[in-house]
A and B are shown apart, each in its own frame.
Chain A
């Protein structure tokens, strides 16, 4: 059986400002018959999961106002893929677990604390997350350490703006991030087996100059609306030149510190996951190659989507941050 798949790039339109366009794009695909006929046979992958219950109501996302990212020619990953295929071990280790287990996650009220070596520590509450700084859209490539990638329109503000408000002290060299710890709401934190044996809360860190780089985005939304829980609601980090696990989700605390802070995956398996975790096609993961990746967009199984991985995920402008460093050793 041969099914002709249109190259995803043929369907690109650059103006990705609101959800209706994503919906439209799927409609286009449907009407072209790529998706249509098969829907009868397999309405949803869940058809294979005998134990799933479908009655959990979907999490409510709010529409956002933001400055859109107009001039990006990349093919965007469909929204339903970006929001149903997630690594978020707090809600289970399978990629379909977060979307299934997180829909009743309560994010309001929320407090994000900014503290540590700063002159003006402060907290941001839920509503403030969306209003304190002007929101902008950034279409970024997300490269997972597992050698797949997506292109996602995030909405947020540069982390630098937030750090500047806190007025860092001279001794601050690193920024430490912490995810919510709430075993009542997060099954992976209740049970070691559900959460993959990770010591929670999940923690991450950046060097201060990395955190202050304009590409580093504190993110509150995607695809025109606030984040769903599986993608890290209500606020997460996005560092597009590093492997995805650096982009910590559901953040409750950002602290400026003097020493390099511990980070979750590095602590768990130091020879597999480094502190820096810059996307680097020349340094393989011990168990698989990082030289290329599969870009997940549309097209299903037959899409030829293996592409070469770029140094710093193609964000060359960060190279100067690492001048003189041996990135093979400091992976």
Chain B
């Protein structure tokens, strides 16, 4: 069953829509935080908003390949790079909120938190992976890297597992939300099990 036929024009429309939603939402939330319009603690609200936003966008990005296969329409894959880059943008904002507004540039604290607190270490590792993927998504680099590009980009599955660990660890107690995310992540990894198995064996 094919939902819609993804013509080139529709791909462009979908891309624009993703840019507009992800971009405006981010700007609006930061603007509200800066002008003290968020009820409660703006720092925590932003940490949650950017953290969950980055994860949602990453999961969306990872669901595009299974979707393309199921729909027998390769054009869905055209949306993968931009959702991945938006995920990286949200994750970067998440990190910046943490060091700029949570720890307020107390560098000693920044260093000790990243090294000493396992859940921050894990989040930081995930961010490093996402950064590597974002940089190498530039077309020139992609072409230059040849086959190793694919190998590098397979580490996105490691990143998603690290992020789930980071998320779970950041909570004080068990919450429904984390179970829903675990199920979604598990399902996505299951779809890609053959590829992942190959990836693990080759290493």
Contact = CB atoms under 8 A, between A and B. Distances in A.
Interface of A: 1, 3, 29, 34-35, 37-39, 41-45, 48, 80-81, 84-85, 89, 93, 95-96, 99, 148, 192-194, 196-198, 268-269, 287-289, 291-292, 294, 296, 298-302, 304-306
Contact of B41 (A41, A85, A89, A93): A85
Contacts of A48: 25, 29, 49
A96 B40 contact: yes
B20 to A, nearest CB: 16
Contacts of B41: 81, 85, 95, 148, 294, 296
B44 A306 contact: no
B179 to A, nearest CB: 7
Interface residues of B, number: 40
A1 B30 CA distance: 11
A298 B36 contact: yes
B161 interface: no
10 nearest CB pairs, A to B: A85-B40, A300-B36, A196-B173, A38-B35, A193-B176, A42-B32, A84-B39, A197-B174, A301-B33, A306-B104
Nearest to B35: A38
9 contacts: A3-B35, A42-B32, A43-B37, A80-B39, A85-B40, A288-B117, A294-B102, A298-B36, A300-B34
Given A1-B34, A95-B44, A306-B106, A44 B117 contact: no
Contact of B43 (A29, A96, A196, A294): A294
B109 interface: yes
Interface string B26-56: 0011111111111111111110010000000
Nearest to B180: A193
Interface of B: 25, 28-46, 49, 101-104, 106, 109, 112-113, 117-119, 169-170, 172-176, 179
Nearest to B28: A42
Chain A's interface: helix, strand, loop or mixed, by majority? loop
A296 B38 CA distance: 12
Given A193-B175, A196-B172, A287-B169, A45 B39 contact: yes
Contacts of A197: 173-174
A42 to B, nearest CB: 4
B58 to A, nearest CB: 20
A148 B45 CA distance: 13
Contacts of B109: 289, 291-292
Contact of B42 (A93, A96, A99, A301): A301
A34 B36 contact: yes
A35 B36 contact: yes
Contacts of A1: 34
Contact of A192 (B32, B37, B119, B174): B174
A289 B34 contact: no
